[in-house]
């Protein structure tokens, strides 16, 4: 997804290249959105819809440019004007703020700071850069990580403060089974394995061009094509970080199905996520593995308040280990271990039809549990939200 209607006023090639490089992870800066002079900028502002942000290169004639910008800034009050300068002069900074500029930036800091500034001032100008990720881990096979990941993505999309037209993304990081592909009955020539294994940057455009749509509301970034199942995935933490950040630049919600990834990859994914779900079944083996995973995540700096343990396929009257015993074994408080209903018929029907539960079995017990989970994750996200600051 490209940067949405962002305009740049500059005739300096180095500045244009620097801005384009800074915005690369959010889509390429279109040459049509670069204005060579004030007249061109004025024409663009008059003929098109008001852009959320305008970047203005002051070098050359800073006082004249700021004088000419003042009426534009008054007329387009909802547009955030960010000025760029090769020098940090107090008089220029003061004048820029007086005429209505929202931020004054030294050109040397464009590549490192520009996207953060735009996210604060006008997150709508960035291609979904305000998105959040959720990681789904598993303490053992058969916990239903893919079922949870697919259906949680579908539910997060419908949380009340997100528009229904905005799709969610589920990412399949399982190199062995490609379970998301099987669950949704979709295939693609390329997937996340190809993205992580290629040379070059991972940006939003690459993510979007590789993802496949199950529906208007649910997209999937598969592990790889069915022909390549079983081939290893290069789980380099830095590449994973780039991939997750770019997913968040495309989608309001990204859910990462990471049941079988190495622990180093799990740690990096958890760091990039607003919530990490650790699925267990109430067995001695799963609880032992879960305890070890929790200890490792905590030791590597993952915030434990962001980690939620879910006892999947739970039935109140079955199994020899109770919820209370599981909490004691894991050493967690009452609120840190929740349950997900065992709803085998509904899940089977959903898998057979290649659709999420909300389409196939909207009243199923598991679907209700996932709705509550989605609402809880969204509430935690909203609590963290920071209002855009005026720099």
pTM above 0.85, yes or no: no
Compute the distance between CA of residue 226 and CA of residue 258 in angstroms, rounded to an integer: 18
- Residue 223, pLDDT score: 85
For 57-100, write each residue's pLDDT tens digit. 999 899 999 999 999 998 888 889 999 999 988 999 999 999 99
Compute the distance between CA of residue 102 and CA of residue 81 in angstroms, rounded to an integer: 6
HEC-encoded secondary structure of the chain: CCCCCCEEECCCHHHHHHHHHHCHHHCCCCHHHEECCHHHHHHHHHHCCCCCEEEEECCCCHHHHHHHHHHHHHHCCCCEEEEEECCCCHHHHHHHHHHCCCEEEEHHHHHHHHHHHHHHHCHHHCCCCCCEEEEEEECCCCCCHHHHHHHHHHHHHCCCCCCCCCCEEEEECCCCCCHHHHHHCCCCCCCHHHHHHCCCCCCHHHHHHHCEECCCCEEEECCCCHHHCCCCCCCCHHHHHHHHHHHHHHCCEEEEECCCCCHHHHHHHHHCCCEEEEEECCCHHHHHHHHHHHHHHHHCCCCHHHEEEEEEEECCCCCCCCHHHHHHHHCCCHHHEEEEECCHHHHHHHHHHCCCHHHHCCCCHHHHHHHHHHHHHHHHHHHHCCCCCCC
Compute the distance between CA of residue 252 and CA of residue 378 in angstroms, rounded to an integer: 11
Q: How many C-beta atoms surround the C-beta of residue 116 within 10 A?
A: 12
Fold of 7-125: Rossmann fold (3.40.50)
**pLDDT at position 127 over 60:** no
For 226-279, write each residue's pLDDT tens digit. 666 667 777 888 899 989 998 988 888 999 999 888 999 999 999 999 999 999
Q: 243 with 269: CB under 8 angstroms? A: no
Domain boundaries along the sequence of the chain: 7-125, 132-382
Average pLDDT, the chain: 85
Average pLDDT over residues 362-367: 95
**Residue range 132-382, CATH number:** 3.40.50.300
Domains 7-125 and 132-382 are alike in CATH topology:
yes
Average pLDDT over residues 127-153: 87
In which region does residue 319 sit, left (phi positive, over 0), alpha (psi from -120 to 50) or beta (all else)?
left
Compute the distance between CA of residue 309 and CA of residue 332 in angstroms, rounded to an integer: 9
Band (pLDDT 50/70/90 cuts) for residue 29 is confident
Which single residue is written with the structure tokens 């495309």? 250
* Range ranked top by mean pLDDT from 57-66, 171-180, 194-203: 57-66
- Residue 65, pLDDT score: 94
Adjacent-strand bridge partners of 314: 341
Chain centroid to Cα 96, Å, comes to: 34
Q: 179 with 146: CB under 8 angstroms? A: yes
**pLDDT at position 318 over 70:** no
Instruction: Look at residues 80, 82, 40, 39 and name the one whose alpha carbon lies nearest to residue 57.
Output: 82
Compute the distance between CA of residue 136 and CA of residue 140 in angstroms, rounded to an integer: 12
Burial of 237 (0-12, 13-18, 19+ CB in 10 A): middle
């Amino acid at each position: 997804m490209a940067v949405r209607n962002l305009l740049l006023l500059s005739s300096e090639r180095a500045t244009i290249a620097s801005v384009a490089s800074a915005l690369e992870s959010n889509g390429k800066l279109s040459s049509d959105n670069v204005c060579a002079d004030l007249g061109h900028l004025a024409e663009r502002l008059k003929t098109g819809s008001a852009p959320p942000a305008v970047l203005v290169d002051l070098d050359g004639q800073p006082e004249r440019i700021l004088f000419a910008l003042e009426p534009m800034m008054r007329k387009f009050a909802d547009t955030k004007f960010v000025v760029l300068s090769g020098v940090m002069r107090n008089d220029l900074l003061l004048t820029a703020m007086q005429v209505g500029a929202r931020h004054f930036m030294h050109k040397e800091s464009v590549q490192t700071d520009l996207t953060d500034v735009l996210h604060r001032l006008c997150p709508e100008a960035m291609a979904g850069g305000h998105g959040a990720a959720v990681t789904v881990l598993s303490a053992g096979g058969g916990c239903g990580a893919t079922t949870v990941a697919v259906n949680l993505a579908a539910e997060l999309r419908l949380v009340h403060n997100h528009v229904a037209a905005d799709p969610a993304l589920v990412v399949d990081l399982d190199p062995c089974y490609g379970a998301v592909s099987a669950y949704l009955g979709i295939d693609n020539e390329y997937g996340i394995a190809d993205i992580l294994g290629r040379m070059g940057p991972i940006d939003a455009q690459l993510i979007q061009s590789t993802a496949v749509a199950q529906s208007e509301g649910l997209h999937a970034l598969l592990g790889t094509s069915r022909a390549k199942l079983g081939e290893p995935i290069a789980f380099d933490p830095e590449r994973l970080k780039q991939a997750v950040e770019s997913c968040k630049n495309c989608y309001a919600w990204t859910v990462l199905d990471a049941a079988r990834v190495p622990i180093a990859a799990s740690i990096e994914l958890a760091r990039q996520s607003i919530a990490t779900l650790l699925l267990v079944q109430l067995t001695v083996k799963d609880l032992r593995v879960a305890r070890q995973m929790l200890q490792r995540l905590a030791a590597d700096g993952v915030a434990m308040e962001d980690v939620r343990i879910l006892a999947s396929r739970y039935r109140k009257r079955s199994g020899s280990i109770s919820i209370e015993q599981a909490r004691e074994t894991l050493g967690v408080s009452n609120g840190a271990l929740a349950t997900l209903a065992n709803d085998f018929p509904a899940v089977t029907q959903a898998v057979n039809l290649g659709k999420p539960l909300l389409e196939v079995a909207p009243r199923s017990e598991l679907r209700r549990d996932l709705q509550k989970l989605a609402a809880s994750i969204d509430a935690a996200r909203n609590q963290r939200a920071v209002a855009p600051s005026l720099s």
